[in-house]
């Protein structure tokens, strides 16, 4: 198990390279769901996503000899852009493997940060195979999008800040895909407030984390289908071990609820939150757990999305 001190160290290390994002409230959400909600706005983070935290920690934790050859990863977009940005700030190359189906906006962001892209087929096996080839050719250090201790520690810093701003939360919630954000959030939250409840939101059409958590056996994601494209990846091994021990519940959300949550947040707060970031709110809306008189922190994980891409219905 990763030690909480690693998250503390990460918070100090990445402070010059990230934004301390605001925590906002929304009366309409509070009224609709019957609790006091506090949204940690990682959609306003550098590179538009929480992944700036983990990527920055992984890049700046490298010693000079390791860093000189650069870093490599595979990602559909958000981690790719965050890693390219962090590598650029350190002055080292970032080699990024992306599926050929990646959204053009995310491809453009990686290029804008100086990332050197290699495209591959949109399967996890091809992503991993292509990344291994690039790593062998360049000698670059692999920075996995979520199954990496430095990445997990960096992601956990969002929860550290949220609990500094709202120390008496009863529940803290994050989306789950590969599990980097959720495992870091769970460790940070439980280490500081052992009684806090840690929940996750996951798309019903990509529910491998839910099935893994329920059965206690790591279940791979097979043919996931959801608009929340940042949550399509299979749960990582490190992440699963932490989630199994520290997470109290995983709530599922269908596509209509996810679309509704994106629109609801935009209408009521004026913020664009990508579908992956809206999944926790969608899951709360769909499941309606008992939350009266409770304080609930929700990490809005990213904002890299064009509202014009939102379908009318699912």
Closest CA to 143 of 187, 78, 80, 89: 80
Query: Based on the domain organization, do 162 and 238 belong to the same domain?
Result: yes
pLDDT in tens, 121-174: 988 789 999 999 999 999 999 999 999 999 999 999 999 999 999 999 999 999
The answer to whether residue 294 scores a pLDDT higher than 70 is yes
- pLDDT tens, 1-50? 799 999 999 999 999 999 999 999 999 999 999 999 999 999 999 888 99
Alpha-carbon dihedral sign for residues 232, 220, 284, 49? negative
**How confident is the model at residue 120, as a pLDDT?**
95
What pLDDT shows up at residue 222? 83
Q: Can you give the three-state secondary structure of the chain, one letter per residue?
A: CCCHHHHHHHHHHHHHHCCCCCEECCHHHHHHHCCEEEEEEHHHCHHHECHHHHHHHHHHCCCHHHHHCCEEEECCCHHHHHHHHHHHHHCCCEEEEEECCCCHHHHHHHHHCCCEEEEECCCHHHHHHHHHHHHHHHCCEECCCCCCHHHHHHHCHHHHHHHHHCCCCCEEEEECCCCHHHHHHHHHHHHHCCCCEEEEEEEHHHCHHHHHHHHCCCCCCCCCCCCCHHHCCCCCHHHHHHHHHHCCEEEEECHHHHHHHHHHHHHHHCCCCCHHHHHHHHHHHHHCCCCCCCEEEEEECECCCCHHHCCCCC
CATH of the domain at 242: 3.40.50.1100
Same domain? 102 vs 158: no
| 164 lies in the same domain as 206 | yes
Cβ atoms of 261 and 274 within 8 Å: the answer is no
Residue 313 has pLDDT above 70, yes or no: no
The pLDDT of residue 157 is 98
Look at residue 232 in the predicted model and tell me its pLDDT: 87
Distance CA(44)–CA(42), nearest Å, equals 5
Q: Which residues are registered as beta bridge partners of 44?
A: none
265 found inside a domain = yes
Instruction: Please tell me whether residues 224 and 293 are part of one structural domain.
Output: yes
As a whole-number percent, the residues of the chain with pLDDT over 70 amount to: 99
The predicted model gives 116-122 an average pLDDT of 94
Query: Does residue 314 form part of some domain?
Result: no
Q: Where does the pLDDT of residue 77 fall: very low under 50, low under 70, confident under 90, or very high at 90 and above?
A: confident
First to last CA, the chain: 39
186, part of any domain: yes
What is the pLDDT confidence band of residue 229, given thresholds at 50, 70 and 90?
Answer: confident
Cβ atoms within 10 Å, residue 58: 29
pLDDT value for 37: 97
Residue 199, in any domain of the structure: yes
pLDDT for 314 beyond 80: no
Q: Are residues 267 and 127 in the same domain?
A: no
Contact between 83 and 62 under an 8 Å Cβ cutoff? The reply is: no
| Domain-terminating residue out of 90, 116, 147 | 147
Task: Indicate if 116 and 27 belong to the same structural domain.
Answer: no
Give residue 226's pLDDT. 94
Q: Is 160 in the same domain as 283?
A: yes
Provide the residue range defining the domain that includes 56.
Answer: 52-147
What is the percent of the chain where pLDDT is above 90?
Answer: 86
Q: Taking all residues of the chain, what is their mean pLDDT, rounded to a whole number? A: 94
């Amino acid at each position: 198990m990763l030690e909480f001190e690693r998250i503390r160290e990460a918070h100090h290390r990445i402070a010059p390279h990230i934004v301390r994002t605001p925590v906002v409230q929304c009366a309409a959400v509070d009224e609709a769901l019957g609790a006091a909600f506090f949204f940690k706005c990682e959609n306003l983070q550098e590179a538009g996503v929480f992944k700036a935290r983990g990527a920055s920690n992984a890049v700046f934790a490298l010693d000079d000899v390791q860093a000189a050859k650069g870093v490599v990863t595979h990602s559909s977009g958000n981690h790719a852009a965050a890693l390219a940005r962090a590598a650029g700030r350190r002055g080292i190359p970032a080699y990024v493997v992306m599926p050929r189906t990646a959204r053009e906006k995310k491809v453009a962001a990686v290029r804008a940060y100086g990332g050197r892209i290699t495209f591959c087929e949109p399967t996890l096996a091809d992503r991993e195979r292509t990344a291994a080839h690039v790593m062998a050719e360049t000698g670059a250090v692999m920075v996995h999008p979520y199954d990496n201790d430095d990445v997990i520690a960096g992601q956990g810093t969002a929860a550290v800040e949220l609990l500094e701003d709202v120390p008496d939360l009863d529940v803290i919630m994050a989306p789950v895909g590969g599990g980097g954000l959720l495992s870091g959030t769970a460790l940070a939250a439980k280490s500081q407030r052992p009684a806090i409840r840690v929940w996750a939101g996951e798309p019903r059409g990509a529910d491998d984390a839910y099935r893994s958590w329920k059965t206690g056996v790591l279940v791979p994601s097979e043919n996931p289908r959801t608009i929340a494209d940042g949550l399509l990846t299979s749960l990582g091994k490190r992440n699963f071990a932490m989630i199994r021990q520290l997470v109290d519940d995983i709530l599922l959300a269908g596509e209509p609820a996810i679309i509704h949550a994106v629109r609801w947040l935009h209408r009521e707060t004026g913020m664009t939150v990508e579908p992956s970031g809206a999944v926790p709110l969608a899951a709360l809306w769909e499941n309606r757990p008992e939350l009266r008189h409770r304080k609930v922190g929700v990490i809005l994980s990213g904002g890299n999305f064009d509202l014009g891409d939102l379908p009318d219905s699912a």
